[in-house]
Each structure stands twice: as structure tokens, then as C-alpha cells.
Structure 1
Amino acid sequence: MDATIHKFLDKSDKNERPTRSEAEEAVRTLLRYIGEDETREGLQDTPSRVVRAYEEMFAGYEQDPEQILGRTFEEVAGYKDIVLIRDIAFHSHCEHHMVPIHGKAHIAYLPDGKVLGLSKVARLVDVFAHRLQTQEAMTAQIADQIQSVLQPLGVAIMIEAEHMCMVMRGIRREGSDTVTTAFTGIFSDEASERARFFDLIRTGSGRRS
């Protein structure tokens, strides 16, 4: 096989991670592209700052969601009702334009003998938020991960977010939130359980019939 063709078919070569200096040079290229002088005083350190910021904002690629959820707890004193964590604030970036998304997630599950540490749920949101995302994919990823690790009777998720790609460019509309939901198990099968989830988000009190 021709060596050049082989190189392009070699997955390890194709996915090789650029060096820090290559990443910084890419930022300089973008600065020149928008008409800036990357050598002027105010921009001399911008490439290294941007790369460091990207390492923080996209740290989710270095984290294992299953490991983040970690240990579960079975000493729940017979608790068998919904566990809900509301208003989990997050920031992410749209994979289409790489501009910010900010919003909040509401996550509930119905335990089947085991519960998660409450901070683990918020950290799971952070893992997926710190990657390039679509809101729809992020919603499904969180639901699937909790269902897979905890195996509860069901998971319910609602994410409300504002997308800067709608504010900073394109139609330029502020204050327009996008809402996505994902349901598994009992929340998918029973409308009454979905209604309880939404009631808990809105009022903090949902009664089980």
C-alpha cells in the first residue's frame, strides 16, 4: 500500500493530538484571519492564555463519567421516592460554532435500593458540559450515564439553556431558552411520574398517587 495513503488510513496518525505550540500557533492564525496584529502588546500572550482556557473549558474530554459517579450508597433507610437535584448551573460550548451555552439542569431518579452522592450528579453535568456539545446530546448522555451506573427505576432530566449562537450571530435573539428532556424507565412509561417530576421542578412539591 502507498505510504501516503497508509498514513491517512492510520487512525493513530489521524487522531494524534497537536502540541501546545501548535495550538498556540492556531490561535495566532485566527487572530490574523480576523484582521488583528498578533504581535501587538495586548495580544502577545493571548495564544497561551487561550490554550490554557481551552484546557479548562474542555476538561471533560479528560474525565471518565462512570468514574465521576463513583461509589453508590445502599444505606438509604428504606427511602423509595424521587431524588431531585434542581437548578444545576452549567456552561458549555456549541459544537457548531464553538460559542457559549449557559443554563441549568434538573435531574431526578427513582432509586432501586441505591443512591448517588448528591455532588456526583452536579459533577457529571460538568463532565459533559466541558465538551463541545449540542443540548440534545448532552441531555441524553447524562440520562444514559446515570441509568447505566445506578440502574434506578427511572431517570428524568430537563435542561434549560440559552445559546449564544442565537444571541451573538444569526438571528440575534436574546432571552430565548431551549428546553430538552430525557426520560428512562418509569418516567418514560408513566405520565403521572413525569408530571411529578415537572411539579417538583416548578413548586418543590410533587405527590405520588
Structure 2
Amino acid sequence: MNDELEPHYHAILKGVGENPQREGLLDTPKRAAKAMQFLCHGYQQTLDEIVNGALFESDNDEMVIVRDIELYSLCEHHLLPFIGKAHVAYMPTGKVLGLSKVARIVDMYARRLQIQENLTRQIAEAIAEVTHAAGVAVVIEAKHMCMMMRGVQKQNSQMCTSVMLGAFRDSQNTRQEFLQLIRGH
């Protein structure tokens, strides 16, 4: 795939008025292609591969939260980064998910071209599918370079999205407990 991307980066360099033969840019198309493949490697992953059977029997039916999971994604509209953190919670029903798997699920979906609203929903639905939890909640807070570097150029803006499923949607108390716990750090 690197071979497919390199000529396009060469054309982009020419298109912005640069000389792709300039010493500092000679390997840029190759490096940019490799970087883009890494930034979008979530397309090569599946939920089954990520989870890899890491579901464990548990009597716990109380909220499990993994907060402040850093994430890096690319805006599908401008191919510019958005950077932030995800807070993920679920209420187990007999099985708990290996801790690192929650972060890996966030990464798998973040490493695709995205809008934050869809990313939030994809993570929530994946956690629900894997755990069969009584409820799932995901909140993402991120800064978008497409809004900071270009366009409106608002440096201190931050977007916050949430998806609440099951018990988190149905119970205001459960939702409030989650929101208080992620803010209380």
C-alpha cells in the first residue's frame, strides 16, 4: 500500500508549490505514506482480534471505568489530527473485559478517518457487543486541528461527545455517577 500512496504525496508536494526533488523532501513521500498507514492502521484490525478472548468471569455488576485514555485520530473532512481522551464505562453482567482491551478498542476506531461523534458511538457499541454489559457510557473530549490551525482558528476550543447505552441511558442516577467519577480526578 505504501507504493500506492507515495506518488500521491509527491503530487501534493508539487501541488502546494514545493520541489519534491529538494534535498529535504526527497524521502518525504515515502515517509508520509508510511505515517498515513500507521495513523489509519485501525482499518486492518477487527474487534475479535483486539479482544482476543480477554473476557473473564466476574460477579461484579458495578460500574467499571477506564478514564483518560489518550486518543489520536484524523478528521475525515480535512485529514487533520484531533487529539484528546476517552472515558469508557460499562456495567458487567457476568464477564469483565481485560483492562488493556478497552484502550485497544478506543485505538482501533480512533486510527481510522473519523468524526468524533461517530468515534464515540463506535466505541460504545463495540464495548456493548463484546461485554453484553447492562450499560455502556463513553465520553470523548478532544481538540481538533481543523478548527485550530485553519478555518475559525480557535485555539482553546474543545469538543465533548457522549454516548450512553442501556443502564446509563435509562437511569439518571447511573449516568450522574459516571459523570461525577470522570470529573472527580
Normalising by the smaller structure, the TM-score range is: over 0.9
1:43 correspondence with 2:25: yes
Tell me if structure 1 keeps the 8 A contact 2:68–2:86.
yes
Identify the match of residue 141 of structure 1 among 122, 135, 154: 122
Give 1:149 shift.
1.5
Give 1:65 shift.
2.0
1:62 correspondence with 2:44: yes
Unpaired stretches in structure 1, ≥5 consecutive residues: 1-18, 205-209
SS of 1:175's equivalent in the other structure is coil
Unpaired stretches in structure 2, ≥5 consecutive residues: none
Quote the residue 1:151 is aligned against. 132
Which amino acid in the other structure matches residue 135 of structure 2? G
Give 1:200 shift.
0.7
TM-score normalised according to structure 1 size: 0.86
1:118 correspondence with 2:104: no
SS of 2:32's equivalent in the other structure is helix
Identify the match of residue 181 of structure 1 among 135, 158, 162: 162
Which amino acid in the other structure matches residue 25 of structure 2? L
Tell me if structure 2 keeps the 8 A contact 1:66–1:145.
no
TM-score normalised according to structure 2 size: 0.96
Bigger Rg over Cα: 1
Q: Which has the higher strand share?
A: 2
Tell me if structure 1 keeps the 8 A contact 2:60–2:93.
no
Residue identity over aligned pairs, in percent, reads 46
Which amino acid in the other structure matches residue 46 of structure 1? T
Identify the match of residue 196 of structure 1 among 177, 180, 183: 177
1:50-90 CA deviation, whole Å, 9 max, x = no partner? 1111111111000002321232100x2x3221000000001
